[in-house]
Structure 1
Amino acid sequence: MAAADALADLPRLGLGLGLRSVHFDAILSGAGQDLWFEAISENFMDSGGRPRAILRAVAERHRLVLHGVSLSIGSTDPLDRAYLASLKRLADEIHPAWISDHLCWTGVNGHNSHDLLPIPLTEESLAHVAARVLQVQDILERPLILENPSSYVRFAQSTMEEPAFLRALADRTGCGLLLDVNNVYVSCFNAGTDPLAYLEAFPCDRVVQMHLAGHQDFGTHLIDTHDRAVRTEVWELFRIAWARTGGASTLLEWDDHIPGFDGCLAELRKAEHYMAGAAAPRGTTARTDGGEGVSNPLGFIIPRAMDSVMEDAA
């Protein structure tokens, strides 16, 4: 089956949480019975013993997806065949609804940076990444789902905007997309661009999944930290994205200073207000901006402070 055809068969899973070890006991005790979970692929690919046994146990009770951070689809290094073989063995064992990773590169010359690094958005990059996506999908025997990363600089050589790049990539390969709503806000704030325009241009018809997360605000820039509650501006973007994607499966990521399971679940449940088109739930706060900026009709602040550095990446 072609990857594009396989996308049509992927389920709508509703709301889910990132699978984190601090929540294992709660999940296995029956918490969150209506949720699905996203496991970080690298945490389980080469592990045995208790972690793998827990993953199997969760997979028996809940729908699971695998989310990777080391595929390095944008690297100039050859694809890591050993990594892909290990990933496929894990997928064949737990049968995830899909496998995702990021539009980025993580290393070169065999060295892993352990970071999700941006790629120049050019026709040459598009051809390079598309060829690699097709190879990965052939190896995994399923469509690859790619996420828009958070970014802090833009390449001066880029000739395409990210939504157009991802649309072209999906058209050429049949891959699906993971729309990280927090990353949209973080990247657009840092670039001084409009997140609403980004969503308007994004190929929402190819979105299989969405991410929500918190970020840190440093005034002149934002950093995608996944260590706090989702900001109101991101919730408002999610409300729009939920409608535009027709209700894509939505997951809350929380990777540091992680609350207990009930705390994460309460944050996730806020999504229901926005899925219904409601206003911000009581207790959320909007971002304030002390620097020079312009606001769009929904009140998002588009800063000018980062303009001088955004085009410096070469």
Structure 2
Amino acid sequence: MPAINTDALPYLGYGLGLRTEHYEALLADPAGVEWLEIVSENYMVDGGLPLVWLERFRQRFPLVMHGVSLSIGSTDPLDEAYLARLAALARRIEPAWVSDHLCWTGVQGVNLHDLMPLPYTEEALQHVVDRIRRVQDILKRRILLENVSSYVSFAASQLREGEFLAEVAQRADCLLLLDINNVYVSAINHGFSALDYLRDLPPSRIQQFHLAGYEQGDRLIIDTHDAPVSSAVWELYQEAVRRFGRVSTMIERDDHFPPLAELISELGHARALAEPLLRNAA
């Protein structure tokens, strides 16, 4: 079995998701941006402009890789060709870490292009743990898995979502990317306590935070990641800082991109909320 690097991962500070709309502005004036998260699939190519740009950013910022196609919860076999390309990109850019989502994105070869939730059962837990171990063997590193937002639940579930994540991290010896917005969205949609969700998670496994915005629907709130962070999510972020301490934090925007200065301002707000709490806890 290949040796997996289990060294402690670094704290990176406050960062942004790298998007083409902000390439030029980030290189011209990156003030306040300490690291960048890339969407892995955008750069899993043999050459061309994406990799040229990526090398430029790699020289200026610490990078992390965040994927959307691992489909760790699917019953389809793991895509070994995809994992080989993912591993090659990781060797090329040497990211601080690699992450994806605790979900499934397709079955029987059909990609739904969405992040689908899992039933929180012992059977699903063991299935996911076995697949995470295989992925970590291939990548030779621990991975981070992110909680997704959800709009349906399974009657068969035996655990709370937070309990399920905690068990996955413990049994697979992986780490967690905690999306604060997704916790809030799911808590409102399903009527559970977001604070209880945070209490279910082990602080030692939390490596990264995502902050993003949502859309208010008629009956549900929708995780769109295309709006500013809401006041409720900022409040939940403060609670997460109190529980988990100093965790690398980023603003994630996937659509309706504002000027870079607006995202940097949001990032500054995250810093302004977190740093006094961290100083007081020291």
Give the TM interval when normalised to the shorter protein: over 0.9
Q: Tell me how far apart the structure 1 counterparts of residues 276 and 123 of structure 2 sit (CA, whole Å).
A: 40
2:166 is aligned to 167
Q: Tell me how far apart the structure 1 counterparts of residues 15 and 77 of structure 2 sit (CA, whole Å).
A: 34
SS in 1 for 2:8: coil
C-alpha displacement at 1:131, in angstroms? Answer: 0.2
1:216 is aligned to 215
Larger radius of gyration: 1
C-alpha displacement at 1:124, in angstroms? Answer: 0.2
C-alpha displacement at 1:272, in angstroms? Answer: 1.9
1:10 is aligned to 9
C-alpha displacement at 1:168, in angstroms? Answer: 1.0
2:250 is aligned to 251
C-alpha displacement at 1:33, in angstroms? Answer: 6.2
Structure 1, residues 224-254: CA drift from partner, whole Å, max 9, x if none? 0011100011001101111211211001001
SS in 2 for 1:270: helix
Q: Is the 8 A contact 1:179 1:210 kept in 2?
A: yes
Which letter does structure 2 place at the counterpart of 1:63? P
C-alpha displacement at 1:46, in angstroms? Answer: 2.1
- The structure richer in helix per residue is 2
Q: RMSD of aligned C-alpha atoms?
A: 1.5
Q: Tell me how far apart the structure 1 counterparts of residues 46 and 261 of structure 2 sit (CA, whole Å).
A: 27
Residues 70-109 of structure 1: pairs in structure 2 closer than 5 A? 70-109=69-108
**What TM-score, normalized to structure 1?**
0.85
Q: Is the 8 A contact 2:166 2:200 kept in 1?
A: no
Which letter does structure 2 place at the counterpart of 1:104? C
C-alpha displacement at 1:276, in angstroms? Answer: 3.6
Which letter does structure 1 place at the counterpart of 2:147? N
**1:184 maps to 2:179:** no
Residues 1-314 of structure 1: pairs in structure 2 closer than 5 A? 6=6, 8-32=7-31, 34-46=33-45, 48-277=47-276
Alpha carbons of structure 1 residues 33 and 59: separation in structure 2 relative to 1, 3 Å:
farther
Q: Tell me how far apart the structure 2 counterparts of residues 31 and 174 of structure 1 sit (CA, whole Å).
A: 35
Q: Is the 8 A contact 2:180 2:211 kept in 1?
A: yes
C-alpha displacement at 1:105, in angstroms? Answer: 0.2
Alpha carbons of structure 1 residues 33 and 274: separation in structure 2 relative to 1, 3 Å:
closer
SS in 1 for 2:188: helix
Q: Is the 8 A contact 2:16 2:33 kept in 1?
A: no
Q: Is the 8 A contact 2:129 2:172 kept in 1?
A: yes
**What TM-score, normalized to structure 2?**
0.94
Structure 2 residue runs of 5 or longer lacking an equivalent are 278-282
Q: Tell me how far apart the structure 2 counterparts of residues 34 and 160 of structure 1 sit (CA, whole Å).
A: 38
Q: Tell me how far apart the structure 2 counterparts of residues 217 and 126 of structure 1 sit (CA, whole Å).
A: 31
Q: Is the 8 A contact 2:33 2:264 kept in 1?
A: no
